[in-house]
Structure 1
Amino acid sequence: MTFASLPLLVTLLTAQTPAPTKPAPAPAAAKSPSAVAGIAPLPGLPNLWASGVPAVPPALSQRVQQYLESRSAQLLDVSDDGQQVLIATRFADVNQLHLVEMPLGARTQLTFTKEPINRARFLPGNPRVIFYLQDKGGGEFFQVLKLDRGTGRSELLTDGKSRHQDLVVSKDGRWLAYAGTGRNGKDTDVYVAPTADPRQAKRVTEAEGSWSPEDFSRDGSKLLVRQYRAADDADLSVVDLKTNTRTQLTPKEGKGSVGAAVFTHDGQGVYLATDRYSDFAEVYRLPLTGTPPATPVSLTKSVRWNVERLELSSDGRKLAMTVNEEGYGRLYLLDARTQALSAVETPKGAMGELRFAGKRSDRVAFSLTSARVPLDVFMVDLPTKKTTRWTRSEVGGLDPETFVEPELVRYPSTDGVTVPAFLYRPKNAKGKVPVVVVFHGGPEGQSVPSFSSQTQLMVTELGLAVLLPNVRGSEGYGKAYRAMDDGVKREKSLADIGATLDFIASRPELDASRVGVYGGSYGGYLTLATATFFPERIKAAVDVVGISSLPSFLRNTQAYRRDLRRAEYGDERDPAVLQVQERISPLGSVGRIQAALFVQQGANDPRVPQSEAEQVVQAVTRKGSDVWYLLATDEGHGFQKKSNRDLAQTTALMFFEKHLLGPVSGQGPGAGGK
């Protein structure tokens, strides 16, 4: 599960009462950002353009307003003394850096920019200096900046045009590491800079592929780096920063994941979470010198699920780790001396970031979310095992106890596959209820029982059931399950869509004649595939930044990620692979679509470009179907700005209400259709 942010649709859709969405005529001088006929900017929201999207009824706006005011608190870092927690949260339009200095204390805002900030680290020894990543317009060409809290000013440290990612600061505060594409725009190298003069960065890897920094040794002399080829194919190396020599630690033969890695306290070994030696990611200790054992001893053999995050205490005695147990997070501690493993009781939910206070070994912080808890920060006092909540994010004044908890269900598909899913059902429903299936992105993502204002709105306010399946290819259920959709095997994975629809038909409380589908990114591909290959079985489909053609997606995605995606989807330059990709691409079979379609897209999307949305919108429009299109010119792979998210979420709800529940109150028959 990737958890730097919540699942895509949660990030896309949260916040407040939108303006009416009836498109206004574009000014004569305005140049259209889209090739879709009839598209026009929305009144009061010039960065949002729409085609076919009707005005939002006032009654619906009133119903969704409080849900859209929910927010979250994403853990970014903890100060050396454990007294300051750095978070990303939103009080205006986008996430900004905030400081919390006591449990449930005030959130002091540190940055006030127009673009979101979701990744940052304190400078050890001086928490008044913060390094962070920020892009512009959702294009994901992140830059590294340094915030001086004394002056309130930020300084750009990178070139302003290449793409940068990952931030690692040495424990002694002398060194900063990050990754960037500055060398050729395609390969991602690792850079190291002195924090005293961070503009003086030098490349410590210069090789083909995607490389990232993982951890500095305690004395700052060595850096762990990861080479990532695919979810199931990564390697870990150590760079000696004095000589710039790089030594690979994982075996050169075979392959496996590198989920997390940290140096041991003495710097002579590493703790590594990998699925190289088993079906799940387990923790191993590898030496830096000598010949590593062919099969090292697992330190977490008793835990059947994936270990996702690792953090070592400052005294080196405790290795904290989060484990993903079928979507729910568990916190474990490994005694580095005895190798005894113990679980720490925490609130139930999905876990995110994990951080020890830099110079304390008795406190570890983590982020957690559940169906009734927005992403918030918690801290465990290890001697007492007491968990304290540090942030309590608002849910628009609503009572979280009224939110619906999901039921974990499983159902059979082809090839002996059993699909796990989370089912949310409205309380006190009478008769069969319509269903919205929400597909996660990735493809190697995972739907988890996290807080989603969108899900709670559909279940609580509209009376819809919501089903979140983890179809084959999802993370969290072992590497064999994750690999079941790789390359041309993706064609077989489409059977899981049919199995999902069969499951709905098997449940007496669910109405299989009124089904909608919803998904972002790869989930958008599955949404379009459902509409295309199972046309009689759904009524409405909302595709958010989704793939409509696998070959054109691979040709047009940004160069720095093209080979990474070929490892997942197959190489379209191979004629045999191309034939399968074309056969399973929705664009080639749009004539089969019967469901109403709503497409949402960011114009600056570097992953799934705007062309993927527009080619399917134009094709479906030509066949005379009901199709809505919403384009944000200041967004990328998902909507991060509040006003945009508000509109995206509310119109999606309006779309499902129209097509699954009948005419929307306040609209005449056929409003918004063709």
Structure 2
Amino acid sequence: MTPGTFSLVVSLLAAQAQAPVTPPAAQAAPASKAPSQVPGIAQLPGQPNLWVSNVPPVPPELRQRLDQYLEARAAALMDVTDDGKQVLISTRFADTNQLHVVEMPMGARTQLTFTDEPINTARFQPGNPQTVYYLQDKGGGEFFQLFRLDRRTGRSELLTDGKSRHEGLRVSRDGRWLTYGGTGRNGKDTDVYLAPTVAPRQARRVTEAEGTWLPVEFSPDGSKLLVVQRRAVDDADLHVVDVKTGERRQLTPKEGKGSVAAAVFTQDGQAVYLVTDRYSDFNELYRLELAKAPFTSAPVSLTKSVRWNVVGATLSADGRQLAVGFNEDGYTRVYLLDTRTQKLSPLDVPKGVVTTLRFPLQRSDLLAFAMGDARSPLDVWTVDLKTRRPTRWTRSEVGGIDTSIFTEPELVRYPSTDGVTVPAFLYKPRNATGKVPVVIVFHGGPESQSLPIFNNFTQYLVTESGIAVLVPNVRGSDGYGKTYRAMDDGVKREQSLADIGATLDFIASRKDLDASRVGVFGGSYGGYMTLASVAFYPERIKAAVDVVGISSLGSFLQNTQAYRQDLRRAEYGDERDAEVRKVQERISPLTAVEKIRAALYVQQGANDPRVPQSEAEQIVQAVRKRGSDVWYMLATDEGHGFQKKHNRDYSQMTALMFLEKHLGTPGARGGEASGPK
């Protein structure tokens, strides 16, 4: 997962186009034309990009109930102009997220791009806000290309090769340089590329080595560039590159390991503020003098007083203040650090989850950020640092629904094995009487964290279906220290499966939750946990929705894209080691398929570079051989999740239909299947 929150089917950014209502039964296409090996798969009438097998038609009444929830949207902050008078956002008014500009608080959202594919990374060119750089892929394949948009003509120009994967877009503060990571050299390793903005196609490699190297930030004068060498989430090194000569010097110690969560140059470019867990269990903020690097002793932490992860840092134009975000039990607290006195003071911003802290390049009195909470989607805000008063710039719609009817989660904790305590967010239906069914939602990653952010799928389950939703952060999750995050690394993942049992035990201990009606839902690694739940706790789960999930750890590692293999082996263990492979096979749902009793719905993107289509289809076919109830959906224009609204609408509607049917809720419905088992 990219930094941030993995959303998949339960995305914050729902779209506007309508999916078809109650399509007639699909007719099976000739096997030679089908993009799938699953018998009986057929195109969905009206949506030829969707192929389904055994999925019933969607009843009109379900569509009517769900319609408003599907219209939810969010606004993610991409950038802010030098003077702070315009913000660049990504939001959706048609089928996908596109770029918009807002020129005043609560002003009109002026759309800049009009493409079929989503755009979720973009930057203004400093000194020239009429030029915007952005990354975009095709069909969810994640082979992102770099484009330059001229706002005056509305035309976008391709700047990269059109076939390699690119990421980590940065532009120097003086507007002279452009940098990004790319796999163009050999398709496996990610190098850092540097190009002048006056000739952006004339990019040169400033790193050329094995592994993943990405740009972090330019120095204020544009003469130096920070780059990170990333081997794993907990194993990275920071380097500084001379832009003119290409000379590279390592800043972090050559011994030991630690994260590089963020890095920011000081105003004079002679030191770096580094966020790392190298010297602590949590990501903390340190100041590193370049002249003293690499360091042999631990520097002094500037954030030791706050025992939570630092999740973001940005420096004001005058260099006197650092805005620092902390993840405190899933919620974000924003502090200002006086760089002269090193004193931390909290900013009074609304409680929720904050992302993308950013100062305008020419202002030190204004801080921009995006923020959302469990009942409201992500939106853009600024705070005046003189008055400490926050100002809202966007208000994203939720289909006209009053957000006060939505549920705020309760933060709960429960014990597991090995002395582990699992934190979780529990969403309960209001005014429920008696025991209610429960859906457990596992996050992806695995080094990710479920946060109390708005989720239209969750709120529908709780508000309309009367189903409680429990969202655990099992061992291996981020946000609770590196010790907790490392508890599932490699062969230790076998012990982490005990947290599934602990979650089910917690449900059984509650008088308001029905342990006999439990469903599971998850995407990516959360899909693995979903499949593991039904394979290793078969008598305790009624239904499972697996979205782009891993069914066999060994085959997943063999078949994921080459540029990801080493990064994933650091987390899951190396499948080429016979002893490690034995453990991976023992805890893979595919090898325990004979135990599965729950109803299963599998959803997959055909262009997924992370978890390939074969992971979905091998579990579907294996479970079907046992005669179980298995639904399958394949989107041929999607990758690791569903970013196009018409696809996401169908995936959400049918997932809800499936869960209601098997958990026996008041809205339960069945229907004739489209295509044979």
- Whether TM exceeds 0.5 here: the answer is yes
- Structure 1 distance, partners of 2:674, 2:150, is 53
The corresponding residue for 2:283 is: 281
CA deviation after TM superposition for structure 1 residue 166, in Å? 1.0
What's the CA shift string for 1:345-365, capped at 9, x where partnerless?
Answer: 101111111111111111111
Higher mean displacement: 6-15 or 611-620: 6-15
- Unmatched 5+ residue regions in structure 1? none
Q: 349-358 vs 594-603, which deviates more?
A: 349-358
Amino acid of the residue matched to residue 443 of structure 2? H
Task: Indicate yes or no: 2:663 matched with 1:660.
Answer: yes
For residues 615 and 445 of structure 1, the distance between their equivalents in structure 2, rounded to whole angstroms, comes to 26
Residue 486 (structure 2) aligned to one of 483, 486, 494: 483
Q: Distance in 2 between matches of 1:250 and 1:259?
A: 13
How big is the shift at 1:18? Answer: 3.1
AA paired with 1:11? S
* Partner Cα distance (1:426, 1:40) in 2: 37
Q: Provide the residue aligned with 2:213 in structure 1.
A: 211
Q: In the alignment, which residue of structure 1 is the partner of 2:19?
A: 18
TM-score (ref. length: structure 2): 0.97
Residue pairs, 1:122-137, within 5 angstroms: 122-137=124-139
Is the Cα contact below 8 Å between 1:440 and 1:522 reproduced in 2?
A: yes
Q: 1:599 aligns with which of 594, 602, 626?
A: 602
Structure 2 counterpart of 1:546 = 549
Out of 153, 156, 162, the residue aligned to residue 154 of structure 1 is: 156
Match of 2:266 among 241, 264, 267: 264
Q: Deviations over 1:207-252 (max 9, x none)?
A: 1100110000011110000011111101100001122111000000
**Structure 2 residue aligned with 1:522:** 525
Q: Determine helix, strand or coil for the equivalent of 2:371.
A: strand
Q: 2:61 aligns with which of 59, 62, 74?
A: 59
Change (3 A) 1:321 1:13: closer
Corresponding residue to 1:418 among 415, 418, 421: 421
SS at match of 1:620: helix
User: 2: distance between equivalents of 1:669 and 1:147?
Assistant: 48
Aligned partner of 2:332 in structure 1 is: 329
Q: Is 1:581 aligned to 2:622, yes or no? A: no
CA distance in 1, matches of 2:12, 2:544: 16
The residue number in structure 2 matching 1:179 is 181
Q: Which residue of 2 aligns with 1:49?
A: 51
* Counterpart position of 1:91: 93
Deviations, residues 54-93 of structure 1 (Å, cap 9, x unaligned): 0111111110000000000000000001000000000000
**What amino acid maps onto 1:374 in structure 2?**
P
Mapping for residues 368-447 of structure 1, pairs under 5 Å: 368-447=371-450
8 Å contact from structure 2 (residues 367, 383) kept in 1: yes
Moved more, 16-25 or 639-648: 16-25
Q: Quote the offset at 1:416 in angstroms.
A: 0.1
Q: For residue 215 of structure 1, what is the amino acid of its counterpart?
A: E
TM-score by length of 1: 0.98
Report Cα offsets for 1:358-379 as digits up to 9, x if no partner.
1111111111110111011111
Aligned with 2:222 (options 202, 220, 223): 220
Superposition pairs of residues 306-345 of structure 1, within 5 angstroms: 306-345=309-348
Q: Distance in 2 between matches of 1:670 and 1:209?
A: 46
Q: Is the 8 A contact 1:597 1:628 kept in 2?
A: yes
Q: In the alignment, which residue of structure 1 is the partner of 2:103?
A: 101
| In structure 2, distance between residues paired with 1:558 and 1:89 | 29
Task: Supply the distance in 1 between the matched residues of 2:676 and 2:353 (Cα, whole angstroms).
Answer: 39
Whether the aligned pair in 2 keeps the contact of 1:13 and 1:639 (CA below 8 Å) is no
- The question of whether the paired residues in 2 share the 8 Å contact of 1:541 and 1:597 is answered with yes
Q: Deviations over 1:305-327 (max 9, x none)?
A: 00011111111111111111111
1:118 matched to 2:124? The reply is no
Name the SS for the 1:500 alignment partner.
helix
Q: Percent identity?
A: 72
Residue pair 1:23, 1:40 contacting (<8 A) in 2 also: no
Question: What is the aligned partner in structure 2 of residue 360 from structure 1?
Answer: 363
Q: Measure, in 2, the Cα distance between the counterparts of 1:406 and 1:28.
A: 48
After superposition, give the CA deviation of every residue in 1:558-611 in whole Å (9 maximum; x if it has no partner): 000000000000000000000000000000011100000000000000000000
Find the counterpart in structure 2 of residue 254 from structure 1: 256
Q: Deviations over 1:144-189 (max 9, x none)?
A: 0000011110000000000000111100000001000000000000
In structure 1, give the amino acid aligned to 2:103.
E
- In structure 1, how many angstroms separate the alpha carbons of the residues matched to 2:668 and 2:244? 69
Q: How many residues align?
A: 674
What is the root-mean-square deviation in Å for CA atoms of aligned residues?
1.6
Q: Report whether the alignment pairs 1:564 with 2:564.
A: no
The answer on 1:496 being equivalent to 2:499 is yes
Quick check: 2:600–2:631 contact (8 Å CA) kept in 1?
yes
1:642 is matched with which residue?
Answer: 645
Asked if the contact 1:7/1:447 (under 8 Å) is kept, the reply is: no
Note if contact 1:13-1:645 (Cα within 8 Å) is conserved in structure 2: no
SS of the residue corresponding to residue 32 of structure 1 reads coil
Task: Provide the residue aligned with 1:192 in structure 2.
Answer: 194
1:268-306 deviation line (CA, Å, top 9, x unaligned)? 010000000000000000011135350100000101000
Higher alpha-carbon deviation: 51-60 or 411-420: 51-60
Change in CA separation of 1:198 and 1:347 when aligned onto 2, cut-off 3 Å: same
